[in-house]
Structure 1
Amino acid sequence: MILSKHIVHLALISLILAFQSNFAQEDLSQKSKQLNQIRTEIQQLEKVLSAKSEEERKSNSTLKNLSEQVLLLSKIIVSLNKDETKLNSEIENLEDQIEELETEIKQLRENYSNYIAWIYKYGKAAPLMYLFGSQSVSQALVRYKYLSAITESHQEAVNNIRSKIEIKQQITERLKEEINKKEKIVSAKLKEKSRLENKKSQREIILDKLKSDQLAIAKEIEEKRIAEVQIKKIIDRLNEEERKRKEMLRTERLKSNKLETKFTYDYDNYENFSVLKGKLSWPVSSGKVVRQFGENKNKRLNTITLNYGIDIGTKESSEIYSVAEGRVSAIDWIPGYGSIVIITHRGDFRTVYGHLEEISVAEGDVVKSGTVIGKVSKSLEGNILHFEIWEERNYENPEVWLVRK
């Protein structure tokens, strides 16, 4: 009976460890596919770039190509960072389990050693002498039951020690696997970071060459006009996705009180964005508005453009912050504004952050006010963050929402 309990306990632990390992493997496989897809996109961009002539490599299209590669590499690094954090947590958990098992094994061994010491001191016949020394049959029965209980207890202790040693061995093997995975991720991350720095350096060279090129600047301004249309399309898509999500939530609630996991996030749990008008913290720690909301005239090129948000001039590599609690709903690359991040807030409000690099969030991440989402990227006009606020399909003047400096 004791042995069967030991086998069942060991089997259950093995099953749990195997399930955890399989689940982690499936998750890893899915992420691996996503990363391979991103790497394929980078390879395609590199192929296009390598086909260009020396003169063509100094053009806007090369700048866009490199900027897009920078975003894709940033996505890979963010994903690898998340995997590393998850593995660190798993490794810490396994180490805690091993430490706990070692303490339990030590205690069990000490208890068993006391029993063995007693047997050694009084001899193997001690239990029989104790039994035959009874004054009556009833006392003998009581002593027999007592001795049987002790024997069974110590047999259970032996099985317990064996069981815990085997479990410890299994967990130790799992720990080795997780440490090996982490080492591979750290190595891959270093490699991708090196590639990222290389692409950024190439991009910097092209930027410096194009800064004095009026045609290049004019082209970027034209791209911004197109970019606003693309941003509007993304906002429309997100609004439609949110409408469908709410409809599915309502349907699920009608069917049962239980909600599917994929529909459980609820923006109503976030801080109320609509009451933050005039109170929003700035998306950069220092900077000033260099292009205001609405119509703007470029004196250098004598052109008028419509700005759906504001452009904030700031220091090189300044950190960009989420202005309020929300969920990262889109990360994309758009000509004119480069890498953009869109965060959805309570009440169908969205904030758009353009000209980013070293993006440190992923789609689906929940962020708080003040969460770092990336750094400002250099453009032909300098270190400028493009910032927009939308309520459903309507763009708002961000300066009305941001706290006065």
Structure 2
Amino acid sequence: MGLSFAKKYCMFLLALLVLTGATYEEILLDKKKQADNIERDIIESKSGITKITTRTAIINQQIDSVESAVNSINSFLKNYENESYMTPDQIAIETNMIIYLAEDVERIQQSFKNKVISLYKHGENYELELLLSSKTPNEYLRRNQYLQKFSQNRKKELRDLKAKKFILEEKRKMLTLSTSSQRFYVESKRNERSLLESRLKELRTLKSNTESESSLLAGRVTRYEDQLNNIRNFINNFESNRENFNESKYNRINYESTDLTQLKGNINLPIDLGLISTNFGNISDNKTLAISLNNGVDFSIARNSKVYAIADGTVSIVGDIPFYGRVIIISHSSGFRSVYASLNEVNVKAGDVIRLNQVIGKTGETLEGQTMHFELWQNSTPVNPREWLRF
């Protein structure tokens, strides 16, 4: 969300303040609560990303380990693709090959050991120190490329070492087995490979799901940061325009009549702060420019604020509805129904008899931010809440 839109959004909300029944301090306090909520959400989401990153690293290690095991078994099984097993002459040749392979394993192992000793002598932070001691950006890049290549080579040597050690051990085992036992052993390795391939598939699926979860959290952080930026801009503009704000303390009233047609313009707000962020009727999406119909109004209010019943009635619906989130619908006399949506908490159930000003739930949020959506219907027609509510 660009800065220009954020400014327009803030000025739009400021323009609506003249219609609210709230004090300067109440509005400022609510906005600061919203900011605090978002900051906690950002910290929680970033913590989630960190945990996922750690989990992904563990999964990658497991994938590398299983892939290495599969490749090693494949290398071993290549010698038995045609169900041909060693004759006495081949056993003699294989024995000599094992001696050469053992020497090769020892050479790779010693080379790897020398590099580990070298790194140990330089200390754990040697690679970082090498980068930080670069005198020019070009030198930094060269050293970084060298270290990356060095790290890749170490991993490759370690994989080669493990693979050759595995084949060496397997060939030694095969020399001790009879032909029939060799067949059985090879078949067991094929079964082991199948199990490892199934495990590899599971790990890759798990990695894909984990990466998707991380992307989701990253998108959430971006959205929260945009919301936080908008709220901070609003607070700055609101404080700058303090002298232009005519405040009034909102007092919830009691009315004896249950006929809402007689209360038009005097019905209590469903929340304690009547700051409208989206009006009734046609609304335009600032990004897509698409036009949609809003059957109610959206109030900008901190999450977990109290939600009140606007009149006596009976709860007809409680549940989750697409695009509305968690919803309470109350039926009133004279064919009226009130709709309370985007809730974080619900304190009633279908069939409950509700009284005026009873706390029925708490506000929640949507992708646009912390909000509470409210609608008022007369029979099958939505009416403009701003014409019926007392601000």
Which bin holds the TM-score, normalised by the shorter protein? 0.3 to 0.5
TM-score norm. by structure 2 comes to 0.37
TM-score norm. by structure 1 comes to 0.36
Between 1 and 2, higher relative CO (CA 8 Å, sep ≥ 6) is seen in 2
Greater C-alpha radius of gyration: 2
